Structure 1
Amino acid sequence: MTEPRFRPALLVVDMQEDFCPPTGALAVPEGRSIIPLINTLLSLPTFHLKIATKDWHPPDHISFASNHTDPATNKPKQPFLDTTTITNPHNPSETYTTRLWPVHCVQSTAGAQLIPDLATGHLTHTVEKGQDGRVEMYSAFSSPLRDPRVSDSGLAALLRSRGATHVYVVGLAADYCVRYTAEDAAAEGFETYVVEEGTRAVDPGLWGACKAEMEGKGVSVVRADGPEVRRLFGE
């Protein structure tokens, strides 16, 4: 019997200064600790594509708490604690509520740069996301607004143009940009894996529930010593 086609791509999500301790504006606990595994994966010739993603926000981005005022107090809303409603700019009937964040990964600032420990010499492409200040974009594919779709990055088209069949996802943060990137990859028809040791969460205590939700949407959360990853090493 013919073996199923295996043409894997690696997505390294948002390994940027603002997401990493100790100085990142939105530092994910232990965010830098995953770099050795990510660099090992980047070094593998098995991957036909090795793509880094970057949040690349304008200063007026809708996800920044400081860009919103609490009408009850007339003071800026609080990051992590407050939310806002996002509306599809092309369809006012499509809305969703999102958590607000500190200012982070503003275009061309030091915080938006990939961390220097990342083996960027192995990357084949970099995708910048979150450039439309009107919408949040956790996923590297597009915002969650679908009717019509807003802010498509072209990532799905890139993966298809290179014949990718499997997508491995690592990076930051597990419960936001990694999660939604992986879910969109699965929805686009790619066999999708999140390598658990290659990511960290903003809210580590909620990671178990987050994994279950991802798996319910067709994403496999796998271990670095599991068969899905060992396959990349020819084992």
Structure 2
Amino acid sequence: MSTRALIVVDVQPTFCEGGELPVDGGNQVAADVAAYAAAHRGRYDLVVTTQDWHVDPGEHFSDNPDYVDSWPVHGVAGSPNAALHPALADLAADVAVRKGQYDHGYSGFEGVTDDDRTLEDVLHAAGIDAVDVVGLAESHCVRRTALDAVTAGFATRVLTDLTAPVSPELGERARTELAAAGVTLTPSTAL
């Protein structure tokens, strides 16, 4: 039997409607992730959140973003919009990982906890061998986190109804890449 973690990627106001880099449906994803986690906490041996926590990410921020490699200012460390979404107030995560302080930081595996442990270290220390990845945005940080989870040897699922892409086209591209890498794509309702 698997020892499974839920990785909640970047469910922050900065990526939801009203934030600096909103994803259509972001607030609904936040509410849905919160409801899912509350109803199914017993499925998980560990719940981890990741947050964009930018201090000085270099060319990641731009006054003239291309929305491929550069973006408007978002997820600024310590700002209200970099906090976890209010819908997650009762999540009771076991571990918080912050990423992107001085770089792009797309993957949760690039971040660290407050005591400087990597996500991979946290998962291994807890005996985790499988992960479910949810959050924002499917086409970017969810995709990178799931791909890095597979590379690190974890059986990886993306719960497709608990994420949203930057655009439908980028979402389709992400799902194709994830499936090719061995990530299982499934709605949470099928579990």
C-alpha deviation, 1:203, in angstroms: 1.6
Spell out, residue by residue over 1:155-209, the C-alpha distance to the aligned partner (whole angstroms, 9 max, x if none). 0011011011110000000000000000000110100000000000112223222
Structure 1 gaps of 5+ residues are 67-77, 82-97, 144-151, 230-235
Give the match for residue 25 of structure 2.
Answer: 30
SS state at 1:99 partner: coil
Give the match for residue 16 of structure 2.
Answer: 20
Report if aligned partners of 1:42, 1:122 keep a CA contact under 8 Å in 2: no
Give the match for residue 53 of structure 2.
Answer: 56
Letter in 2 for 1:42: A
Structure 2 gaps of 5+ residues are none
C-alpha deviation, 1:36, in angstroms: 3.5
C-alpha deviation, 1:153, in angstroms: 6.0
Following the alignment from structure 1 to structure 2, what is the Cα–Cα distance between the partners of residues 183 and 19?
Answer: 21
SS state at 1:57 partner: coil
The TM-score, its normalising length taken from structure 2, stands at 0.90
Report if aligned partners of 2:57, 2:104 keep a CA contact under 8 Å in 1: no
1:100 aligns with 2:70: yes
The partner residue of 2:137 within 165, 173, 181 is: 173
Following the alignment from structure 2 to structure 1, what is the Cα–Cα distance between the partners of residues 146 and 85?
Answer: 22
Following the alignment from structure 1 to structure 2, what is the Cα–Cα distance between the partners of residues 173 and 40?
Answer: 18
Q: Indicate the percent of aligned positions where both proteins have the same amino acid.
A: 35
Report if aligned partners of 1:140, 1:153 keep a CA contact under 8 Å in 2: no
The partner residue of 2:158 within 194, 197, 201 is: 194
Give the match for residue 118 of structure 1.
Answer: 88
Decide which structure has greater strand share: 1
SS state at 2:66 partner: coil
Decide which structure has greater helix share: 2
What are the equivalent positions in structure 2 for 1:126-145 lying under 5 Å apart? 126-132=96-102, 135-142=103-110
Q: How many residues align?
A: 185
C-alpha deviation, 1:220, in angstroms: 1.1
Indicate the RMSD between aligned Cα atoms, in angstroms: 1.8
1:207 aligns with 2:177: no
The TM-score, its normalising length taken from structure 1, stands at 0.74
Structure 1 stretches of 4+ with a deviation exceeding 6 A read none
Max radius of gyration: which structure? Answer: 1
